[in-house]
A and B are shown apart, each in its own frame.
Chain A
Amino acid sequence: MPTAAQKFMVFDQDSFLSICNGDHELENNLLNVISHSLIKETYKLEMAGNQRETEGLRQQWHHLKGTLGGLGQLHLCKIIDQLEASDHAFSPSNLLLHSSFVNKLKILALEMEKFSKMKQKISN
């Protein structure tokens, strides 16, 4: 049975290492790059959502789909598919899904950042 903490864990360290071909140096570099990018992309996504920019929002979803796909975050990619499939980017149901997606992204970015810092401490 997973513990409560494991249930909320969205970043799978083992599968991330396998994405990096088991290369720890690459893992460290990528963790650093992706956690920073994710924070930046999430901010842009929030801005596009707040400013009701349909094109900007769709572009951000698409960018994130590539990044998250590369991270093996398929459940988040499926949410983007759902968001993209809607004709109205700002429909009430899409807005609700969008805000839950943004929250999940923030958790993922924070977990990655935390893991990246932990790895840096260990290597130092």
Chain B
Amino acid sequence: MDTVSQTISKKKIVYVIDDSESYQKILQAHLDQLGFQVVSFFSVKDCLNSQHPKPDVILLDQNLGDGELGTNHLPQLRSRIPAVPIVFLSVDGNVSIVTEAVRKGAFDYIEKNSAAFVRLRTTLDNVFNSFDKQKRIRQKILVVLGILGFLALMVLWGWYFGQL
């Protein structure tokens, strides 16, 4: 089963932050089809004030209207909603914007063109693969630390009773 198919059974939550209602609806249709639960916002402020459950991934647009830029809000989003990958969206494939977004912690970047929806599917696959991998590594580290802790306790215990 691929990752996107796996998400269908779990209904992962995707936040979409875009000031264009049309694009929100287009993304919603695509993500619905992939089995995600979508929550859309027109601004980062709306998103941060929302009472919705924590998302599994955030799709953030660069141009949010009224001169607001997604790149400027990235650090705030990352600190207020930590450990959630943010995928950046923009109509311009401008290298400096992409670099800035990645430097500020965006997981990936999608240009709003005809290939955007194929890229979206691949990117979401990568997001969840990477997060599952990180989760597995964290679990393994915890198991190893647990074994080491147990061994250390055994050694200390042996040493203590050896002293008596």
Binding site for B on A (CB under 8 A): 15, 19-21, 23, 25-26, 29-30, 33-34, 37-38, 40-41, 59, 62-67, 69-72, 74, 77
What's the Cα separation between A38 and B112 when bound, in Å?
16
Chain B residue numbers with a CB within 8 Å of A66 are 18, 20, 22-23, 61, 89, 91, 112
Q: Give which listed residue, A30, A59, A64, A77, contacts B26 with CB less than 8 A.
A: A30
Given contacts A19-B114, A26-B30, A62-B91, contact A70 B65 (CB under 8 A): no
Chain A residue numbers with a CB within 8 Å of B91 are 62, 65-66, 69, 77
Q: Does B116 contact A (CB under 8 A)?
A: yes
What's the Cα separation between A59 and B19 when bound, in Å?
10
Summarize A's interface: helix, strand, loop or mixed.
Answer: helix
Evaluate contact between A23 and B114: CB separation under 8 angstroms: no
Evaluate contact between B113 and A69: CB separation under 8 angstroms: yes
Evaluate contact between A38 and B33: CB separation under 8 angstroms: no
Chain B interface, number of residues (Cβ within 8 angstroms): 26
What's the Cα separation between A37 and B28 when bound, in Å?
13
Evaluate contact between B116 and A37: CB separation under 8 angstroms: no
Evaluate contact between B114 and A21: CB separation under 8 angstroms: no
Chain B residue numbers with a CB within 8 Å of A72 are 113-114
What's the Cα separation between A98 and B9 when bound, in Å?
46
| Candidate in B23, B111, B114, B117 with the most chain A CB atoms within 10 angstroms | B114
Evaluate contact between B19 and A63: CB separation under 8 angstroms: yes
Q: Told that A19-B118, A66-B89 touch, could you supply 16 new A-B pairs with CB distance under 8 A?
A: A34-B25, A34-B26, A37-B25, A37-B26, A59-B19, A62-B20, A62-B91, A66-B18, A67-B20, A67-B23, A67-B26, A69-B111, A69-B114, A69-B116, A70-B114, A72-B114
